[in-house]
């Protein structure tokens, strides 16, 4: 192993996963979290001889050759201002935050000029095996030699390297991550507003519904700041999330008014623009596979659903000129699941026609759809206000509602993601 060391500032879920894998590959890792967590971190990494835990980021920065900041996106400026000036001369610095514009601004403001910048972003959560998943690498201010050092270090993750500029990264992740999360967050908020546990309602069991529930619960069982950061701090994300809320609202109004022709025309033209040129692709998800991952018992016959959340997603992609397949190279497991169920609905004419019929004719679930529409707009407003506090308040309120069921949901959700990702071989190209 080369005589180079890796610094990790922020030993939360992602930092710990990186520290374990990089040190297992033989690199020396210097790590820290906030001083209050120092003692615990020493205990937790006592079994890792290649990891040295330090009380703060000054001590990590001064002795490491590649330093990764893995802290909350909203704290980056403050943390880099604190430790950046202590960076070892000639070192390379990067970050793991999900949105790169503010991260790079923090580096440019606070790092000494002799320090190079290569950032990264693993496009998956800490519980997913990084092997084969996309890892975005951004050579912002660095020599080829330094970039290659970063690639050699991170190659132990076994991820698929994707080379983008900071601007490309933020634009694509706004299209893939931010708007996808907005849809799942809205589902959870609507279920909570209606005091439902969706797996206890026949409409939400089986096939596509299992994915909706499992992913929504997975997101709500995670940390609010991850989702807030990538929605609020990404300058491209607001527009996407706003368009999603608008698509939901407009489709819901057409449903309420019983405007069958206009509704059908709008859904079908969105389908043509998003899926028209991709109708020969293999489906990302198979029906029988989806049915296996129910939290509740399967009803004898699937209850019809208008799938407003999915119709609005495809409408939104179409309005923004987004072809989601163009972003597969830079997709997260959650995005692939979301696209998988959208495709499932839109490439099955019978299912799509049934959703349209249900939307126009069936009043049974109007209260669910009303709450979903409110929720989509509320999330969009909170993001537009650029308010981390407002985002956190809503996230934690819904999180609290679902909390008693997280353990069960996580088990089923993890198994679902694992099986489906293996079967679809993490199709990232
Ligand atoms: N979780 C995910 O799925 C993914 C997350 N990311 C991004 O990676 C980054 C880390 O996420 P994640 O690990 O999940 O978040 P965590 O909250 O688990 O970890 C962040 C850690 O950084 C610590 N920290 C804050 N300030 C400092 C400081 N001054 N010095 C040292 N440590 C500090 C935090 O402490 P404290 O809690 O006290 O603030 C916390 O322990 C985020 O920017 C996130 O957006 C990227 C890909 C996937
Ligand atoms: O797959 C998703 O979208 C997730 O929810 C996990 C996640 C969260 C933040 C990231 O920056 C990358 C992945």
172 and 307 share one domain: yes
The predicted pLDDT at position 286 comes to: 72
292 and 422 share one domain: yes
Per the structure, the count of domains in the chain is 2
> How many Å lie between the centroid of ligand 2 and the Cα of residue 224?
12
> Which ligand 1 atom is the nearest neighbour of the CA of 98?
45
Q: Is the pLDDT of residue 267 over 80?
A: yes
Residue from 226, 229, 388 whose mutation best tests the ligand 1 pocket (most atoms within 8 A of CB): 226
> How many Å lie between the centroid of ligand 1 and the Cα of residue 184?
22
Check if 331 has its Cβ closer than 6 Å to any atom of ligand 2. no
Q: Is the pLDDT of residue 427 over 60?
A: no
Instruction: Give me the mean pLDDT over the 307-316 stretch.
Output: 97
406 and 421 share one domain: yes
pTM score, two decimals?
0.94
Burial 74-110 (b: 16+ CB within 10 A, else e): bbbbebbebbbebbbeebbbbbbbbbbbbbbebbeeb
The last residue of one of the domains, among 163, 181, 207, is: 163
211 and 284 share one domain: yes
Q: Is the pLDDT of residue 426 over 60?
A: no
The last residue of one of the domains, among 163, 179, 207, is: 163
Decide if 220 contacts 198 (C-beta within 8 A).
no
390 and 340 share one domain: yes
204 band by pLDDT with thresholds 50, 70 and 90: low
Decide if 337 contacts 211 (C-beta within 8 A).
yes
**Nearest-5° angle of CA 320, CA 324, CA 329?**
135
152 and 19 share one domain: yes
The last residue of one of the domains, among 128, 163, 198, is: 163
24 and 92 share one domain: yes
Check if 98 has its Cβ closer than 6 Å to any atom of ligand 2. yes
CATH code for position 132: 3.40.50.720
> How many Å lie between the centroid of ligand 1 and the Cα of residue 197?
30
The residues with which 117 forms a beta bridge, in sequence order, are 93, 141
115 and 131 share one domain: yes
291 band by pLDDT with thresholds 50, 70 and 90: low
Check if 71 has its Cβ closer than 6 Å to any atom of ligand 1. yes
38 and 53 share one domain: yes
Q: Is the pLDDT of residue 248 over 60?
A: yes
Check if 32 has its Cβ closer than 6 Å to any atom of ligand 1. yes
339 and 195 share one domain: yes
> How many Å lie between the centroid of ligand 2 and the Cα of residue 427?
17
236 and 291 share one domain: yes
337 and 409 share one domain: yes
Domain that holds residue 193: 168-428
């Amino acid at each position: 192993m080369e005589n180079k060391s890796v610094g990790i500032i922020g030993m939360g879920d992602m930092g710990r996963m990186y520290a374990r894998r990089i040190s297992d590959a033989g690199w020396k890792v210097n790590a820290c979290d906030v001083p209050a967590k120092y003692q615990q971190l020493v205990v937790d990494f006592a079994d890792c001889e290649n990891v040295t835990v330090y009380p703060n980021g000054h001590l990590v920065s001064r002795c490491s050759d590649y330093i990764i900041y893995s802290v909350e996106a909203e704290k980056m400026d403050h943390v880099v201002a604190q430790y950046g000036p202590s960076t070892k001369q000639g070192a390379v610095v990067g970050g793991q935050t999900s949105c790169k514009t503010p991260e790079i601004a923090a580096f440019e403001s606070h790092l000494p000029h002799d320090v190079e910048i290569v950032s990264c972003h693993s496009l998956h959560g800490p519980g997913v095996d990084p092997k084969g998943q996309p890892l975005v690498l951004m050579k912002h201010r660095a020599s080829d030699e330094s970039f290659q050092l970063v690639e050699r270090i991170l190659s132990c993750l076994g991820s698929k390297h994707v080379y983008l500029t900071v601007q490309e990264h933020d634009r694509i992740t706004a299209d893939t991550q931010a708007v996808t999360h907005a849809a799942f967050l809205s589902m959870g908020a609507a279920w909570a507003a209606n005091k439902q546990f969706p797996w206890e309602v026949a409409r939400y069991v089986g096939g596509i519904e299992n994915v909706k529930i499992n992913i929504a619960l997975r997101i709500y069982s995670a940390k609010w700041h991850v989702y807030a950061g990538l929605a609020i701090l990404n300058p491209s994300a607001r527009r996407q999330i706003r368009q999603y809320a608008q698509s939901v609202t407009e489709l819901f109004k057409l449903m309420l008014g019983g405007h069958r022709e206009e509704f059908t025309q709008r859904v079908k033209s969105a389908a043509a623009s998003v899926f028209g040129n991709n109708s020969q692709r293999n489906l990302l998800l198979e029906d029988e596979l989806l049915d296996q991952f129910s939290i509740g018992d399967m009803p004898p016959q699937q209850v019809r659903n208008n799938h407003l959340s999915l119709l609005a997603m495809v409408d939104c992609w179409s309005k923004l000129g987004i072809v989601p397949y163009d972003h597969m190279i830079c997709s997260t497991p959650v995005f692939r699941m979301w696209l998988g169920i959208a495709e499932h609905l839109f490439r099955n004419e019978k299912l799509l026609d049934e959703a349209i019929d249900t939307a126009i004719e069936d009043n049974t679930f109007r209260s669910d759809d009303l709450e979903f529409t409110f929720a989509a707009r509320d999330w969009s407003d909170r993001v537009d206000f650029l308010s981390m506090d407002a985002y956190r308040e809503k996230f934690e309120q819904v999180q609290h509602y679902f909390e008693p069921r997280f353990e069960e949901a996580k088990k089923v959700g993890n198994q679902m993601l694992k099986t489906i990702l293996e079967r679809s071989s993490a199709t990232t190209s």
